Amino acid sequence: MGFLPVTIGSVGIALLMAQGAVASVADSLMPHRAVYDLELDGSSESSGIESMYGRMVYEFNGSPCEGYTVGFRFVTQLDTGRTTRLTDQQTTTYEDLEERTFRFLTKSYVNQKLDLEVRGSAYAQSDATEVKLQDPKEDDLTLVPAQFPTAQMISLIEKAKQGERFFQSRLFDGSDEGRKVMLTTSVVGPARVSQEGAAELKVTGELGKLPTWPVTIAYFDESENNDGTPVYRISFKLYENGITRDLTMDYGEFALKGTLADLEIFDQDSCD
């Protein structure tokens, strides 16, 4: 986690404690595969959406010593009454917490035809996020400092455990062709054992007896003048091991509800 002198003083002690807390949270993250059924949870008249449904699959693997891989697939079918569109986004990432590096590949399909492929890597420095893009075209970018997704999740869990209820951070996850950092605002409620829906109760098992934090994260594009309106907002219930359920994804003109339909827990790798 970096070098610390033998005589560390009060600032060094605080840093060491923070690093230990982050390591503890990272060790508790549970490799898993979660499947969510998606359905329309409301839409504005201007959206033109009559119906929308789909499925989201999130697969999380790895450890603090080996790094973390995420496989993500987001498939939706949208019906406007006149046309139907099937979208399929497939993303794979690798994140090394110690080296603060991130690799990403996203393929987006529309009606089963490849629409866009984004591939690149990034390095989180203390004063910048250095991005090297390969697709859709080669480019080198220097963006504002930001966290990568797993590091942000670890930070979110640690702050929630400390009782922090409102905080901001910047995120780079390779979305939007890998050219932007998003400002995120997180609101976290007190942890509690909450009532599950019947569908989720069938798949969570013993996990359902554990407390969750209700979390809402709003994502803002600082490069655009949007009058403080988030690009989108995600709400979910978060377990301490990083598993989530009871999702709501609000894109402004429409929202999707995600119900945990299947959950598979994988063996946890050891760093010993």
Give residue-wise pLDDT tens across range 47-83: 889 999 999 999 999 998 899 999 999 999 999 888 9
The one-letter amino acid code at 174 reads G
Given CA atoms 198, 202, 208, 214 in this order, what sign does their dihedral have? Answer: negative
What pLDDT is stored for residue 227 in this prediction?
A: 67
Judge whether 105 and 121 are in contact, CB under 8 Å. Answer: no
Local structure of 254: helix, strand or coil: strand
What pLDDT is stored for residue 15 in this prediction?
A: 32
Kindly state the helix (H) or strand (E) to which residue 156 belongs, with its residue range: helix 149-161
The DSSP 8-state label assigned to residue 253 in this structure reads: S
The DSSP 8-state label assigned to residue 203 in this structure reads: H
The one-letter amino acid code at 121 reads S
Residues 267, 268, 272: CA angle, nearest 5 degrees: 130
C-alpha distances (whole Å) from 91 to each of 38, 116, 137 are 18, 12, 18
What pLDDT is stored for residue 16 in this prediction?
A: 34
Kindly state the helix (H) or strand (E) to which residue 152 belongs, with its residue range: helix 149-161
What pLDDT is stored for residue 62 in this prediction?
A: 93
What pLDDT is stored for residue 272 in this prediction?
A: 65
First to last CA, the chain: 16
With 0-12 / 13-18 / 19 or more C-beta atoms within 10 angstroms meaning exposed / middle / buried, residue 52 is buried
Which residues of the chain fall short of a pLDDT of 70? 1-23, 196-199, 225-227, 272
Q: Could you tell me the two tokens for 178?
A: 């890998």
Residue given tokens 């894109």 in the structure block: 251
CA distance 117 to 154: 28
How remote is the C-alpha of 111 from its chain's centroid? 25
Cis peptide before 190 (omega within 30 of 0): no
pTM of the model: 0.86
CA distance 18 to 158: 9
CA distance 262 to 258: 12
Q: Could you tell me the two tokens for 137?
A: 């075209």
What pLDDT is stored for residue 86 in this prediction?
A: 96
Local structure of 12: helix, strand or coil: helix
